[in-house]
Structure 1
Amino acid sequence: MSGTQAPLVAFEGVQKTYDGETLVVKDLNLEISKGEFLTMLGPSGSGKTTSLMMLAGFEVPTHGDIKLGGRSLKNTPPHKRDIGMVFQNYALFPHMTVEENVAFPLSVRKVNKSEQVERARKALDMVKLAGLGSRRPAQLSGGQQQRVALARALVFEPQLVLMDEPLGALDKQLREHMQIEIKHIHESLGVTVVYVTHDQSEALTMSDRIAVFNDGIIQQLASPSDLYENPQNSFVAHFIGENNILNGAVESIDGAFCSVRLDSGEQITARSVNVGGVGARTSLSFRPEKVDIEGVGPDHPNRLPARVRETIYLGDHMRVRMQVAGNDEFTVKMRFRAGRAVPRPGEEMFVSFAAENCLALDPVA
């Protein structure tokens, strides 16, 4: 949270259990600023959706408190929280027109009919559905139905909008298009959004900050670029983007860097991010685009022999799958350049990487 402005949303020591024994959310402390787009990202069962449902009022914390605008939500029912909701299944009323669906939150709030119509049409125009207000939801495509659900969540101008896997039912191309649309709407309105997804590329595209959940705990909370470039543990490194892993033990530590002896015998220098000390096991993390496979002299400090297993053409780059230091699935993204030879399966060569692009993290079991 930037500056000294009070957070719009604050989770304070929140825990949740359904059976009295297993904590689905273990100890959630999280502040969300007004106007922020925060994504709760994690695998199924990580606690992200439960956290969102507690904020919405559909689940009750077992312990701790959730505050909205500085006020506890403990005794506030969902319909009085001034929160808009967008679900994956849209939850539109099939017997109502599109315009009536969008106006529904206004009718519940006793807004007069003429203002309902005006605000509903304005909201539909905002999501690029002007002129479709008289149709029924069944007459719209999936992407159009999702836009209606978004317009309905925004029409009463809530201070907070919650989105639970809202694009999960759409095809890849439409999903990517809607990501940008939602981001633009957020930027133009300045509304605060809390977004839940298991799709890391979606989170990277849309968010101001991402809270990475696993096992009921936030593993790391940071901007998309910081999460990708500086993961603080092996789970985050694996879950955000593509990643290569080599295992070894720490031989020495010198400031921000350490020397690691790989299980295959080679010694390399890595950035010391999350290691237990000299002698401790560590897993080294490499992004495929940060590894080079050509033009490296024999004296380069981080240079490992490799055997090409497979090359895959992907238009703007080539994915080269290699055998490196006992890892048969080591991947390098190789950009095409004029005159650059394409590696052939079975070819023996070397891979190299700068020490700052090799992260020494907690060991992967």
Structure 2
Amino acid sequence: MSAAADTSAEPPLVRFEDIDKTYDGEHLVVRSLNLDISRGEFLTLLGPSGSGKTTSLMMLAGFETPTDGEIYLNGKPIRNMPPHRRNIGMVFQNYALFPHMTVAENLAFPLQVRRIGRAETAERVARAMAMVKLEALAQRHPGQLSGGQQQRVALARALVFNPQLVLMDEPLGALDKRLREHMQMEIKRLHQDTGITVVYVTHDQSEALTMSDRIAVFNDGVIQQIAAPDTLYERPVNSFVANFIGENNTLSGQVEHREGRHGTVRLAGGELVEALLISPRANGATALSIRPERVRLLAPDADPGTDNRLSGRLRDIVYLGDHALALLDLPGTTDFMVRLQAGEQAGLTRGQDVTIAFAAEHCRALDPV
């Protein structure tokens, strides 16, 4: 599947062209990868373990070599270029700081390797420390810093030599939830302030949605879909993307009638549902994708209007603070989710019969699962 960005007058900073990667000569961990990355973009490679996202990042960094195909940086082929000549910054999950060096010395190291003069090095180090708000910790060693502070140093070190591209491999994986969310905002701020191009690898879909300009969703070595976060969430092109990005309801059925992009699907219990027919494979068996917030619980005598209407039983209510999830037993599924706003769960009891409604435009017929 081609995943090239929309072409424009300005050529992409990075281009993956027909990239294959195998370690054993048989199984391709990356298959036919075509991907353009624009200058100044924050692109996230998202997917489960073993999907090919980290291998793709390592090939761009120069730590892995493609089996076939070519990678271009600024229009120049770099497949055989060593990592240190690519002018790329790297941030890893384990920070990779030198424990015997102070914060200032860690930041100065990549400048010294590039033979930058002492005065300019001092100026760049001071600027980088100010960027991540660590000026007061310049003389501390990594072992004297918290995890969040170490991650800030790692970020500053990746930016201090003004790279054209920064690669981040699960950089927040070792942090607790609150600090992780704070660092997401910090990284996004740094990206906006510097205009640097960032390629970010994570398996955390909420992190990808929060930070990215575009997200490339990987599975089995192939990009399943690449788009802006809201497009991926609202308009997934297949069942893998629908189920990997955010919470999703899946109902299996058979397409009975098609008229353009709209169709009628018969569910396992015999109910008929109107849906958008997204997948070209949605001609017989299909999986319907419906987001929990697109479903509403109907009062007993309410008119659903033109919406689809299904009956089921309330199995449980999960309280999540600012909202709750109603879990329903419907024909063919026992975990159908309806998102309730605060207070909407009042009066609901486990085991009661309920009716739900959702619009055809929010029901997407995708490939069967």
C-alpha contact (below 8 Å) 1:268/1:301 kept by paired residues:
no
C-alpha spacing 1:93/1:351, structure 2 compared with 1 (3 Å): same
1:145 counterpart = 2:147: no
The one-letter amino acid of 1:297's match is: D
C-alpha spacing 1:42/1:21, structure 2 compared with 1 (3 Å): same
TM-score with structure 1 length normalisation?
0.97
Report the counterpart of residue 335 of structure 1 in structure 2.
341
Secondary structure at the aligned position of 1:91 is classed as: coil
- What are structure 1's unaligned runs of at least 5 residues? none
Secondary structure at the aligned position of 2:136 is classed as: coil
Aligned-residue identity in percent: 61
Report the counterpart of residue 124 of structure 1 in structure 2.
129
- Alignment counterpart, residue 157 of structure 1, candidates 150, 154, 162: 162
C-alpha spacing 1:299/1:108, structure 2 compared with 1 (3 Å): closer
Measured in 2, the distance between the counterparts of 1:76 and 1:216 equals 23
RMSD: 1.3
Measured in 2, the distance between the counterparts of 1:285 and 1:12 equals 32
Report the counterpart of residue 185 of structure 1 in structure 2.
190
- Alignment counterpart, residue 314 of structure 1, candidates 308, 320, 333: 320
- What are structure 2's unaligned runs of at least 5 residues? none
The one-letter amino acid of 2:325's match is: R
TM-score with structure 2 length normalisation?
0.96
Measured in 2, the distance between the counterparts of 1:253 and 1:243 equals 24
Report the counterpart of residue 211 of structure 1 in structure 2.
216
Secondary structure at the aligned position of 1:144 is classed as: helix
1:272 counterpart = 2:277: yes
C-alpha spacing 1:298/1:37, structure 2 compared with 1 (3 Å): closer
Report the counterpart of residue 91 of structure 2 in structure 1.
86
List 4+ stretches of structure 1 deviating above 3 A: 298-301
Report the counterpart of residue 354 of structure 1 in structure 2.
359
1:290 counterpart = 2:312: no
- Alignment counterpart, residue 323 of structure 1, candidates 300, 304, 329: 329
Deviates more, 1:287-296 or 1:37-46: 287-296
Measured in 2, the distance between the counterparts of 1:307 and 1:86 equals 49
Cα deviation, residue 7, structure 1: 0.3
Cα deviation, residue 277, structure 1: 5.2
Equivalences, count: 362
Deviates more, 1:244-253 or 1:288-297: 288-297
Cα deviation, residue 121, structure 1: 1.4
Deviates more, 1:41-50 or 1:324-333: 324-333
C-alpha contact (below 8 Å) 1:123/1:155 kept by paired residues:
yes
Measured in 2, the distance between the counterparts of 1:262 and 1:175 equals 41
Cα deviation, residue 226, structure 1: 0.2
Deviations 1:107-144 (A, max 9, x none): 00011122212211110110111111100000000000
Measured in 2, the distance between the counterparts of 1:277 and 1:154 equals 47
Report the counterpart of residue 33 of structure 2 in structure 1.
28
Measured in 2, the distance between the counterparts of 1:107 and 1:277 equals 58
